[in-house]
Amino acid sequence: MVRRGNQHTHPRRSPQEVEEPIAEANKIGTATPYDFEGKNLTAYGGLLPVATMLEKVEFQRVVEETLKVKRVTRAMTWYQFVLAMVLALYVGFSRLNHLRFLEREPMLVGILKVLRLPPQCTFWRFLASLHLEIARQLLDVQRRMRQRVWEAAHVRLKSVTLDTDTTVHTLFGQQMGARKSYNPQHKGKKSYQPILTFLAETREYLMGELHNGDRPERRADRPASGERVGGPARGGGDSLRSGRLRLLRWGGGRSL
């Protein structure tokens, strides 16, 4: 069958102007184009205010008094390793492989007083050398820092609400404890369901517990407030034992 037609047809161009005015403002999302022309972090828009705040609340003293690190480091002191990861989190680098973008950042290396950051494998070896007791010691550092920041900011709360709920962490591959359970974004994929506790008034992370992929059983006799609603909430209350506060614990629909 022979078809007759123009073989050199071009697609029509889309209109360059919006015919009708947009009623709603454009939402900023992951697909929103952006551009950044600066090469280095600025002093007053980056790490300098954060470093000044940590110096005012004596972060180095709290860390060195609380954490017990026996490993002898060469590239940097163990406190510089901790401070580098904390400052990287402040500027939005949440993974260790992101530190390569800050390897020679003048502001960061100036605060750390080094010429350059060590490679990612050095940070991994440092973290792998830490014992499990460091997790409890980090919670003590968090508690002491919270107390200092609240005192500096004149935060005087008579009661706090401990908000406990689960989240979904999707996994890939064969990992121990992974289950096919509640996962609305990636249905059918295996995941963990860690249980996290936050302070509702200040939105601070208080404590967490790694949970396998099985959906936590919901208690039929879950109390409304004033009593324990789970392991993380109980530990969260213990971490606030230094202050005289009224603790109100609340668990989400899927948490317990």
Q: How far apart are CA 102 and CA 88, in angstroms?
A: 8
Q: How far apart are CA 119 and CA 127, in angstroms?
A: 13
Specify the pLDDT at position 28: 60
pLDDT (mean) for 85-101: 86
When the pLDDT of each residue in the chain is averaged and rounded to a whole number, the result is 77
Model's pTM, two decimal places? Answer: 0.65
pLDDT (mean) for 234-249: 54
Query: Is the pLDDT at 217 greater than 80, yes or no?
Result: no
Query: Is the pLDDT at 45 greater than 70, yes or no?
Result: no
Pseudo-torsion of CA 239, 243, 246, 248, nearest 10°?
-20
Percent of residues, the chain, with pLDDT higher than 70: 67
Bridge partners of 248?
161
Specify the pLDDT at position 226: 41
pLDDT tier at 156, thresholds 50, 70, 90: confident
